[in-house]
Amino acid sequence: MSEAVYSVSGMTCGHCESAVGKEVAAIPGVTSVTAVASTGLLTVASQHPLDDEAVRAAVDEAGYELVGRA
């Protein structure tokens, strides 16, 4: 099991959290996702370490920007 925390810009509400969570959850191997708009943090648990670029692409697809690891 692996966990990573990322900083995401642009999230302002529950809808934002849901959109980011849905896209990141679709990455193969992801077991849980928690996005918190008030802090801009995205916590991702997965079966194996994730490729940061896959997470970046999922966040981009949701319409937000992955700043980097927190």
**CATH number of the domain encompassing residue 31:** 3.30.70.100
Residue 40 domain flag: yes
The pLDDT score that the predictor gives to residue 26 is 98
Look at residue 50 and tell me if it is in a domain.
yes
Which helix (H) or strand (E) covers residue 34, if one does?
strand 30-36
Q: Is residue 13 part of a domain?
A: no
Q: Residue 17 has what pLDDT?
A: 98
**Residue 24 domain-assigned (yes or no):** yes
Beta bridge partners of 30: 46
pLDDT confidence of residue 35:
98
**pLDDT for the residue 38:** 97
> Residue 37: which domain range?
19-69
Residue 6 within any structural domain of the chain:
no
Does 10 map to a domain? no
CA triple 4-8-18, angle to 5 deg: 90
pLDDT tens track for 6-62: 999 999 999 999 999 999 999 999 999 999 999 999 999 999 999 999 999 999 999
Residue 48: per-residue pLDDT: 95
